[in-house]
Chain A
């Protein structure tokens, strides 16, 4: 079977071009739809850290679950690559998959009280306990506490806007909300953060 797999899956990517410049995401997904596993692996390599960061940020550092969900993003891409219809950029499409997966996860967890997502824990969003964080200082601690006060929706929009630097229009596509909601939600999240930080660590700002 492996020999068959190798024959079918390894469709060559235009190497002359890839030597000159990296292939666009949209080119890679097209190659993958045509059967190239190499293209899929490149997309995974390109996006796995960003996806993981996005999911971790929302789940407040539940590493194992975040990794599973991150893999689920790529599994969905593998199973239904043709769902990407070039109506948006590939990155916004992939982030929207991640957003939906996290949403389902949070909903499922909330139906099971014993294993519910703990919104009040003090673990840092990178998944490590506060004490094990490499940048463990008061600022990091208060910063994490302030982030803990945000809802999943507010954390995800803060990450997309400030960490990923998506535009409001792109965020609107990823979260499937209108621009006005993007503005109000990002402002609410920031005001909450600033309020918390002022309260906990006033001299920081």
Chain B
């Protein structure tokens, strides 16, 4: 091998990235070439220097700070869910996490149509059309056994009571219930 070839391969040689045959050829050349030998030793020395560089020392309160941050995440999670439950971390949860948004979107659309239909039937006598809209999608919460809550408001002049929609375990083929706000009674 020539010197310029060795020069190209010195880094790989130092880092053990060469195949056995090339490695042997390089070493053979280096043993007989003072210039390449010097370059090789410089690299070797540098690698040793970096490897031996003193480790940085963490402060004594690193663990406590980290635990506090983790606890803060847990607390935030529980607060958001209004129940003292651990973050669900199982396969079912992961599966539901992926599918729930689609299920929720589909449910909102279908149930909006259902509400419009029901109230248009109720108000048929008065011949006044009633329109409902999904006012707020609060979120899905697997750990509470509730996949989705959507509040529905009626846009009629009669100021009908507000409704909300609660869906349980959509990923398992659960069902949704239309409930009156404040009373939580199902319709």
Contact A53–B56 (Cβ < 8 Å): yes
- A residues in contact with B12, CB < 8 Å: 168, 183
- Output the least CB separation between B101 and chain A (Å): 16
Q: Mark A131-158, 1 if CB is under 8 A from B, else 0.
A: 0011100000001000000000000001
Contact A71–B65 (Cβ < 8 Å): yes
- Output the least CB separation between B22 and chain A (Å): 14
A65 to B47, CA, bound (A): 27
Q: For the complex, would chain B's binding face be called helix, strand, loop or mixed by DSSP majority?
A: helix
- Output the least CB separation between B97 and chain A (Å): 9
**Counting CB contacts under 8 A, is B66 at the interface?**
yes
- Output the least CB separation between A69 and chain B (Å): 12
Contact B69–A75 (Cβ < 8 Å): yes
Number of interface residues of B (CB under 8 A): 37
Contact B11–A186 (Cβ < 8 Å): yes
A44 to B62, CA, bound (A): 11
**Counting CB contacts under 8 A, is B33 at the interface?**
no
Interface positions, chain A 17-33, Cβ under 8 Å from B, are: 32-33
- Output the least CB separation between B79 and chain A (Å): 10
Contact B85–A168 (Cβ < 8 Å): no
Name A's B-contacting residues (CB within 8 A): 1, 4-5, 8-9, 32-35, 40, 44, 48-49, 52-53, 56-57, 61, 63, 66-67, 70-71, 74-75, 78-79, 81-82, 125-127, 133-135, 143, 158-159, 161-163, 165, 167-168, 183, 186-187, 190, 193-194, 197, 204-205
- B residues in contact with A63, CB < 8 Å: 56, 59
- Output the least CB separation between A136 and chain B (Å): 11
Contact A4–B86 (Cβ < 8 Å): yes
Choose the segment among B70-78, B107-115, B178-186 that binds chain A (4+ C-beta atoms closer than 8 Å): B70-78
**Counting CB contacts under 8 A, is B17 at the interface?**
yes
A125 to B56, CA, bound (A): 8
CB < 8 Å A-B pair total: 110
Q: For the complex, would chain A's binding face be called helix, strand, loop or mixed by DSSP majority?
A: helix
**Counting CB contacts under 8 A, is B46 at the interface?**
yes
- A residues in contact with B85, CB < 8 Å: 4, 8
- A residues in contact with B159, CB < 8 Å: none
Contact B53–A163 (Cβ < 8 Å): yes
- Output the least CB separation between B167 and chain A (Å): 24
- B residues in contact with A159, CB < 8 Å: 50
- B residues in contact with A125, CB < 8 Å: 53, 56
Q: Mark B37-62, 1 if CB is under 8 A from A, else 0.
A: 00001110111011101111111001
Contact A126–B54 (Cβ < 8 Å): yes
- B residues in contact with A40, CB < 8 Å: 70
A185 to B86, CA, bound (A): 45
A197 to B66, CA, bound (A): 38
- Output the least CB separation between A104 and chain B (Å): 17
Q: Which of B50, B53, B54, B70 contacts A75 (CB 8 A)?
A: B70
Q: Which of A34, A61, A193 contacts B46 (CB 8 A)?
A: A193
Interface positions, chain B 152-182, Cβ under 8 Å from A, are: none
Q: Which of B41, B49, B66 contacts A71 (CB 8 A)?
A: B66
